[in-house]
Amino acid sequence: MNKMKNNILDISFDIKSYEEKYLKEVVNLFTNTVHNINKKNYTKEQLNAWANKSIDLKAWKNRLKTSNTYLCMFEDKIVGFYIYEDGYIDCFYVHHEYQGLKIGKFMIGQIFKNANSDGIKILKVDASITAKPFFKSFNFIEVKKNKVIINGEILNNYSMYLDIKKTKGFKMNTL
């Protein structure tokens, strides 16, 4: 388990591998975060298509079980999660009630650390309109604007990449 201390608020976070007992909490974090944070960039219909409140727990269970899913914990509460495999960031969400605490910076730092130790040279992500500025702040470069159809709704996102060598100056202790 990796730890990070937020020196401003005197709180610390841990990263741990996903366990099935957290299924409902992860799915609720995803759904509530999409609906609360992304509403400034997407319509209600798009949000409902992306994060339908009629949750298919079986599909989520299978997805999380078969992916490299990591949880960011504050005490015993999940405050973020991400799925990262072979240089691709598939999901990256910070709990809507814990925005602004540098949790995203901590999680991306863990991904950089894992990528470096695995010899990954390029990181890729398909970022939402809302998440695009976050990834740009870590030198990810937009390569393509995408139109994705989810449950009949068209949503825009951005394919982005990062040459991992550009993260050499990133330090976990700068939080």
C-alpha distances in Å from residue 154, one per residue of 48, 54, 150: 12, 19, 7
Q: Where are the domains of the chain?
A: 2-174
Q: What are the pLDDT digits (tens) for 37-78?
A: 999 999 999 999 999 888 889 999 999 999 999 999 999 899
pTM of this structure = 0.89
pLDDT over 90 (residue 171)? no
CATH H-level superfamily of 2-174: Gcn5-related N-acetyltransferase (GNAT) (3.40.630.30)
The strand pair at 11-17 and 122-128 is best described as: unpaired
Residue bearing the bigger pLDDT, 35 or 167: 35
Sorted by sequence, the CB contacts under 8 Å of residue 141 that are 6+ apart come out as 160, 161, 162
Q: What are the pLDDT digits (tens) for 95-134?
A: 999 999 999 999 999 999 999 899 999 999 999 999 999 9
pLDDT over 90 (residue 8)? no
Sign of CA dihedral 163, 136, 72, 26: negative
What is the CB-side half-sphere exposure of residue 40 using CA atoms within 13 A?
A: 5
Q: What are the pLDDT digits (tens) for 11-37?
A: 789 999 999 999 999 999 999 999 999
The strand pair at 141-150 and 88-94 is best described as: unpaired
Average pLDDT over the chain, rounded to an integer: 90
